[in-house]
Amino acid sequence: MTERQMISLTVNGQVHEVAVEPRRLLSDVLRDDLGLTGTHVGCEHGVCGACTILIDDQPARSCLTYAVQMEGHEVTTIEAIGRDGLSPFQQAMHEEHGLQCGFCTPGIIMTFEAYLRDNPNPDEAEIRDVLSGNLCRCTGYQPIVAAVLKAAARQREERQ
Ligand code: FES
Ligand code: FES
């Protein structure tokens, strides 16, 4: 067995000291060591987007990231979103029926929390382009696009 290395992992604002083998994926450490099972793992090849989390506020695939790379970085997972009530995008996903089985949903939420923060006025083509990085087997994508547009409109209203 490869020797473990102590790392300091900041997740959702909380610092965790964990001993990990250098080969361990961030997705596995989040789920198995920290119990943050909201991050889902689908393909483990960087294709499906189910494992999307934020690293320093930017979306990233946790299945393509080694946990030891996270020293000095801030990781945000789905567990941090909507802690004080649903976020505007979560609320819009609920209203527009943007999820069915929910397997893809945490990754989609993380992707669009960051996207909507940086793009207050997206058009449908842009949304579909971003959404192409997250696979969903259930919804046909249309309700998710509708939810992004609705959340963006609400956020613009709130900012006025
Ligand atoms: S599990 Fe990471 S992209 Fe599919
Ligand atoms: S809701 Fe089932 S995979 Fe997207």
33, 51, 80: which is the final residue of a domain? Answer: 80
Say if residue 69 is in the same domain as residue 102. Answer: no
Say if residue 49 is in the same domain as residue 116. Answer: no
* Total domains, the chain: 2
Q: Which of 72, 48, 34 is nearest to 135 (CA)?
A: 48
Q: Which atom of ligand 2 is nearest to the CA of 108?
A: 4
CATH number at residue 92: 1.10.150.120
Say if residue 67 is in the same domain as residue 102. Answer: no
Q: How far is CA 114 from CA 6, 56, 130, 141, in A?
A: 30, 11, 11, 19
Report which bound ligand comes closest to the CA of 48: 1
- Ligand 2 contacts CB of residue 86 (under 6 A): no
Per-residue pLDDT of the chain (160 residues; tens, 9 = 90+): 679 999 999 999 999 999 999 999 999 999 999 999 999 999 999 999 999 999 999 999 999 999 999 999 999 999 999 898 999 999 999 999 999 999 999 999 999 999 999 999 999 999 999 999 999 999 999 999 999 999 999 999 988 8
CATH number at residue 61: 3.10.20.30
pLDDT at residue 25, as a whole number: 98
Within 10 angstroms of residue 141's Cβ, the number of other Cβ atoms is 17
- Ligand 2 contacts CB of residue 48 (under 6 A): no
Report which bound ligand comes closest to the CA of 59: 1
Q: Residue 46 C-alpha to ligand 2 middle, in angstroms?
A: 17
Specify the pTM.
Answer: 0.96
Say if residue 92 is in the same domain as residue 151. Answer: yes
Which residues make Cβ contacts (< 8 Å) with residue 45, sequence separation at least 6? 63
Say if residue 94 is in the same domain as residue 142. Answer: yes
Say if residue 93 is in the same domain as residue 155. Answer: yes
The whole-angstrom separation of Cα 99 and Cα 93 is 7
Residue nearest to atom 3 of ligand 1 (CA): 46
Say if residue 20 is in the same domain as residue 71. Answer: yes
80, 111, 133: which is the final residue of a domain? Answer: 80
pLDDT at residue 1, as a whole number: 66
Say if residue 9 is in the same domain as residue 76. Answer: yes
Q: Which domain holds residue 131?
A: 88-159
Tokens 């889902």 sit on residue = 40
